[in-house]
Amino acid sequence: MRPALRAAKLVIWGARTHGGPAFAECRLTACLTTSSRQSFRNEEWRRLGLGATQEGQSAPSLNRLMFVQTGFGCDQHGDRRADGATAAAVRACRNAIEFNSIPGMIDHVPGGRKNMLINVKLGVPEGYSVDLDQIRATFPYGRLLPVEIVTGGLTYGCGRVVSELGDVDDLAVIVVAAVSIGYHDPTDSSKEHKKFDTRDGH
């Protein structure tokens, strides 16, 4: 049985004495969706022929910046030796992009959204790994530039240990993400995006 399902069964058992059916339904939804929603989205995008491509070190620079989004992701459970901070990093990227709609990319990026460049910077607690393939799979289209990982984020004791989810301690991991999107203008030799003053014309 998958860990999420085992945890869900434990929650239902606890609900019999701590809140009844409504409580059980709410907690069950939380257990099942935190780990499965992302994989569902990724599979759905693959089925539809969507998904960002991974660019190498020779990728063009993002010198036309159009949109910057930030996000926060927390993971309280799992085997850190195997999973590192991947779940928290994926959630941070999702948090950055999931409340936005950018239909104008089709018209304003030369070549359409398939040529949209994505730059991801992650603040990850020192010593924690991130599966970059899962980060790439978070984005439905565009060209993902090499992900930049810096020391950041946070770890803390959440006070809960769920061995069925792979916990060996109560350590929780937080990752923060900055997701920038735009495109490369070959007529501009600059490798960095332009910085604008808040006063128009300055």
Mean pLDDT (the chain, rounded): 80
pTM: 0.76
More confident position, 74 or 24 = 74
Structure tokens at 121: 């910077």
pLDDT band at 166 (very low <50, low <70, confident <90, very high): confident
Res 142: pLDDT: 94
Res 40: pLDDT: 57
Report the C-alpha gap between 129 and 133 in whole angstroms.
12
Adjacent-strand bridge partners of 67: 181
Task: Give the model confidence (pLDDT) of 47-59 as tens digits.
Answer: 777 889 999 999 9
Span 165-184, average pLDDT? 92
Count of alpha carbons within 13 angstroms of residue 93, beta-carbon side = 29
Phi, psi of 174 (to 5 degrees): -120, 135
pLDDT band at 168 (very low <50, low <70, confident <90, very high): confident
Task: Give the model confidence (pLDDT) of 65-84 as tens digits.
Answer: 999 999 999 999 887 777 88
Res 37: pLDDT: 53
Res 7: pLDDT: 41
pLDDT band at 109 (very low <50, low <70, confident <90, very high): very high
Q: Are 152 and 124 in contact (CB under 8 A)?
A: yes
* DSSP letter string, 110-129: TT-GGG-EEEEEEEE-TT--
Q: Which residue spans within the chain are E strands per DSSP?
A: 53-54, 64-75, 117-124, 143-144, 148-151, 154-157, 171-183
Span 106-127, average pLDDT? 93
Report the C-alpha gap between 63 and 117 in whole angstroms.
10
